[in-house]
Homo-oligomer: A and B are copies of this chain.
Amino acid sequence: IRTGKTTKKALIFGKRGMGLEDEINEANDYYLANRLAVVHKKPTPITIVKVDYPARAAAKITEAYFKQASTTDYNGVYQGRYIDFDAKETKNKTSFPLKNFHQHQITHLANILSQGGIGFVIIKFTTLNKGYVYPASALIKQWQNLKGKQSISYHDIMTHGYIIPESLNPSLDYLKAVDMMLESLK
């Protein structure tokens, strides 16, 4: 019975097993195909040290290292407006650990806001299966306030964030939550 129940649940929340990044990529593909938005994930930044150029074959990178990103992972255009965000998931149920963010991401989001762009983070509580669009303004405030403290409370994210409504296609229809955020900023 347990197993049956799990299977049923797995059918209902069919994409539950997908990683957050896959879900966002799927949503972005859907938005692009349906002309709702153009959002892409930026490539992983890499420092290339050595490249081989074999005759009659593609250049082969033989030594490279991962480099810390200076921005967020996603940006694009939605109804003429610039949107910029990062995505983070946690197994926690009551709070979101700030150690998931880096100072340069916070700084980047602050720069975006000061230029009139729309900045936020998608925070997914995987155990609760709930995703939120949490405004950059709230994140920056928490980052400053919680200096030393560990986490943003789930309550704060519920209060200042916008829940991503359940959806089948795409499974993480985050622009619905962005719409609510933009509506409340009006």
* Interface, chain A (partner B; CB < 8 A): 32, 35, 37-38, 40, 42-46, 48, 58-66, 69-71, 75-82, 84, 108, 111-112, 114-117
Closest 3 CB pairs of A and B: A80-B116, A77-B82, A77-B117
Cross-interface CB contact of A82 among B32, B43, B82, cutoff 8 Å? B82
* Alpha-carbon gap, A158 to B34, bound state (A): 35
User: Closest approach, in angstroms, between the C-beta of A119 and any C-beta of chain B?
Assistant: 9
One complex includes copies of this chain to the number of 2
Interchain CB contact under 8 A, B115 and A35:
yes
Which residues of the partner chain B approach A62 to less than 8 Å between Cβ atoms?
62-63
Further pairs besides A43-B69, A44-B48: 14, Cβ < 8 Å: A32-B111, A35-B114, A38-B112, A40-B71, A42-B42, A42-B43, A43-B46, A60-B64, A61-B65, A61-B66, A77-B112, A79-B115, A80-B81, A81-B116
* Alpha-carbon gap, A70 to B25, bound state (A): 14
6 inter-chain pairs at a CB distance below 8 angstroms, sorted by A residue, are A35-B111, A38-B111, A43-B44, A62-B63, A77-B82, A78-B115
* Alpha-carbon gap, A123 to B71, bound state (A): 26
* Alpha-carbon gap, A71 to B77, bound state (A): 13
* Alpha-carbon gap, A116 to B76, bound state (A): 11
Q: A80-B115, A111-B38 are in contact. Are A58 and B66 (CB under 8 A)?
A: yes
User: Closest approach, in angstroms, between the C-beta of A69 and any C-beta of chain B?
Assistant: 8
* Alpha-carbon gap, A44 to B59, bound state (A): 14
* Alpha-carbon gap, A41 to B43, bound state (A): 11
